[in-house]
């Protein structure tokens, strides 16, 4: 797909749109981690450059920064340098690191991938940035999540303090909300990547659903998932690796636990099995959950409850139209649960955006208006510990001018599920 789409031009266009929103000053955009939730590891730098490194910094300067003052040594141009609006600073590998990990991408490689014209080693950041800040009054920084009052100061925040102690006149502003607003609506390339991620994901789930039977271990589901991801093209990877497990495989009462990750219990006859994972395509992550009977047949009670969860999801998807609020879908789920006297067993919020993060930027259901190009998952979940039953159904939805479009999905209808589980 990258051969068909000029992704370098896409990155450049995103940076230009962001720069147009900076009315003054310089923006300094690194990619800090946002522990404790690795699903929310910051992807803002990736969105703007295609780089995933935590040891890279993008500088955007709408009014320009003068660099390379001494490349011209003679004549009237000496010392004038060049004025640029974008710079990338990337890590330099030590000789020991080169021996262990290889040379890594060259500056020319980084330039070609990102489209940023000037790429420098990180060791030059302080000198170039320091001179530029002498002429500025505002510094924009990328703080994508709450740094947490009362907790140890994160490294990236300590760096901000170091800057402000020296350039005390600067007004500091957070650019992350502006980047998140750009990421909220996906472009055609992003939508196609998400389609591919969901399509690969759905195919893998069908194989797991056929394989997991009573007497097997939950770990078989994880083994199949890991194998299927690894044998696919290099664009495909797993979306939950940072949690220490690539997939949730929860049988019986384990499905009542939100983030059950042990995946090591025997599957018993009569168990429902819940599987939840993400599949990444070119950096963009799907998120699908399906629940199915290990022996291929729902019990009457399981069938009753599954039908209610599926009804809740369908009611929610009907609400997902341009001009509606994210929260409208969430409310539709709980209205359905309440109708059946089960609202007390509904758990948590019922959806979130997907994109470069499996829980994408600003990933909490709230009052934002939906518009064409937004991609969300909707995931109603009933958790009834006293019955040992947990049922979650999660599907991807693209908002279009004509309403919601369901992205490729695992089997969801009861008859479809029973059919595939008995093959």
pLDDT tens, position by position, 356-388: 999 898 766 677 899 999 999 999 999 999 999
The reply to whether 296 falls in a domain is yes
The reply to whether 1 falls in a domain is no
**pLDDT at residue number 155:** 78
The reply to whether 39 falls in a domain is yes
Q: What does R_g of the chain's alpha carbons equal in angstroms?
A: 24
Q: Which of 127, 132, 126 has its CA nearest to residue 170?
A: 132
Q: What is the mean pLDDT of residues 221-245?
A: 86
Among residues 168, 183, 198, which one ends one of the domains?
183
The reply to whether 2 falls in a domain is no
**pLDDT tens-digit readout, 41-99:** 789 999 999 998 888 999 999 988 988 765 555 555 555 678 899 999 998 877 777 77
Same-domain status, 167 and 301: no
**78: domain CATH number?**
3.40.350.10
Is-contact 49 116, C-beta < 8 A?
Answer: yes
The reply to whether 249 falls in a domain is yes
Same-domain status, 314 and 265: yes
Same-domain status, 74 and 206: no
Same-domain status, 168 and 199: no
The residue segments making up the domain with residue 60 are: 7-183
Same-domain status, 275 and 161: no
**pLDDT at residue number 339:** 97
**pLDDT at residue number 348:** 85
Distances (CA, A) of 181 to 8, 21, 94, 352, 417: 20, 11, 37, 15, 38
The reply to whether 166 falls in a domain is yes
**pLDDT tens-digit readout, 84-111:** 999 999 988 777 777 777 777 888 999 9
Confidence class for position 34, pLDDT limits 50, 70, 90: low
**pLDDT at residue number 244:** 54
Listing from the earlier edge strand, what are the strands of the sheet with 171-174? Answer: 118-121, 82-90, 56-67, 26-29, 138-141, 171-174
Distances (CA, A) of 407 to 157, 191, 200, 286, 396: 39, 10, 11, 9, 5
**289: domain CATH number?**
3.90.230.10
Domain count, the chain: 2
**pLDDT at residue number 313:** 98
**pLDDT at residue number 73:** 55
* Percent share of the chain, pLDDT over 70: 92
Mean model confidence pLDDT for the chain:
91
Same-domain status, 166 and 123: yes
Which two structure tokens, joined as six digits, stand for 192? Answer: 């196609």
pLDDT tops 90 at residue 156 = no
The reply to whether 102 falls in a domain is yes
Q: What is the mean pLDDT of residues 133-161?
A: 86
Same-domain status, 287 and 175: no
Distance from C-alpha of 223 to C-alpha of 375, rounded to nearest angstrom: 29
Backbone angles phi, psi at 95, to 5 degrees: -60, -40
Top mean pLDDT of 56-70, 102-116, 230-244, 309-323 is at: 309-323
Same-domain status, 179 and 217: no
Among residues 154, 183, 212, which one ends one of the domains?
183
Distance from C-alpha of 255 to C-alpha of 271, rounded to nearest angstrom: 10
| 209 compared with 149, residue with greater pLDDT | 209
**pLDDT at residue number 164:** 92
**pLDDT at residue number 203:** 98
pTM assigned to the model: 0.93
Same-domain status, 192 and 126: no
Half-sphere exposure of 252 (CA within 13 A, CB side): 17
Which residues 6+ apart lie within 8 Å of 349 measured at CB?
330, 364, 365
Is-contact 83 62, C-beta < 8 A?
Answer: no
pLDDT tops 60 at residue 180 = yes
**Using alpha carbons only, what angle is made at residue 288 by residues 11 and 346, rounded to the nearest 5 degrees?**
120
Same-domain status, 136 and 49: yes
Distance from C-alpha of 322 to C-alpha of 144, rounded to nearest angstrom: 26
The reply to whether 202 falls in a domain is yes
Same-domain status, 145 and 230: no
**pLDDT at residue number 76:** 52
Same-domain status, 240 and 154: no
Among residues 158, 183, 208, which one ends one of the domains?
183
Confidence class for position 147, pLDDT limits 50, 70, 90: confident
């Amino acid at each position: 797909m990258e051969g068909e789409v000029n992704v370098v031009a896409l990155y450049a266009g995103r940076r230009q749109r962001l720069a147009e929103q900076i009315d003054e000053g310089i923006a300094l955009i690194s990619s800090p981690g946002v522990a404790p939730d690795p699903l929310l590891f910051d992807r803002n730098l990736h969105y703007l450059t295609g780089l995933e490194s935590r040891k890279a910094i993008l500088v955007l300067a709408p009014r320009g920064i003068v660099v390379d003052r001494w490349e011209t040594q003679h004549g009237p141009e000496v010392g004038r340098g060049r004025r640029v609006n974008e710079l990338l600073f990337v890590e330099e590998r030590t000789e020991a690191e080169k021996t262990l990990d290889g040379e890594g991408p060259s500056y020319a490689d980084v330039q070609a991938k990102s489209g940023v014209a000037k790429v420098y080693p990180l060791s030059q950041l302080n000198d170039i940035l320091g001179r530029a800040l002498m002429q500025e009054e505002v510094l924009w920084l990328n703080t994508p999540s709450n740094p947490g009052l009362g907790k140890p100061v994160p490294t990236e925040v300590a760096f901000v303090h170091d800057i402000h102690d020296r350039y005390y006149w600067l007004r500091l502003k957070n650019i992350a909300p502006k980047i998140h607003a750009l990421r909220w609506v996906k472009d055609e390339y992003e939508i196609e990547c998400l389609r591919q991620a969901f399509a690969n994901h759905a195919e893998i789930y069908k194989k797991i659903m056929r394989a997991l039977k009573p007497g097997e271990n939950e770990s078989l589901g994880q083994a199949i998932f890991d194998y299927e991801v690894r044998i696919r093209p290099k664009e495909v990877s797993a979306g939950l690796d940072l949690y220490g497990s690539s997939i949730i495989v929860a049988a019986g009462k384990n499905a009542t636990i939100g983030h059950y990750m042990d995946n090591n219990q025997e599957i018993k006859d009569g168990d429902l099995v819940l599987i939840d994972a993400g599949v990444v395509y070119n950096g963009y992550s799907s998120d699908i959950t399906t629940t199915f009977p290990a022996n291929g047949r729902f019990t009457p009670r399981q069938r009753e409850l599954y039908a209610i969860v599926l009804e809740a999801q369908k009611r929610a998807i009907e609400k997902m139209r341009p001009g509606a609020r994210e929260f409208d879908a969430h409310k539709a789920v709980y209205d359905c649960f309440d109708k059946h006297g089960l609202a007390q067993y509904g758990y948590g919020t019922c959806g979130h955006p997907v994109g470069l993060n499996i829980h994408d930027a600003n990933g909490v259901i709230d009052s934002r208006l939906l518009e064409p190009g937004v991609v969300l998952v909707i995931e109603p979940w009933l958790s009834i510990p006293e019955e040992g039953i947990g049922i979650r159904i999660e599907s991807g939805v693209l908002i279009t001018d004509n309403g919601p479009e369901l992205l490729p999905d695992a089997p969801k209808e009861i008859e479809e599920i029973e059919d595939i589980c008995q093959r």
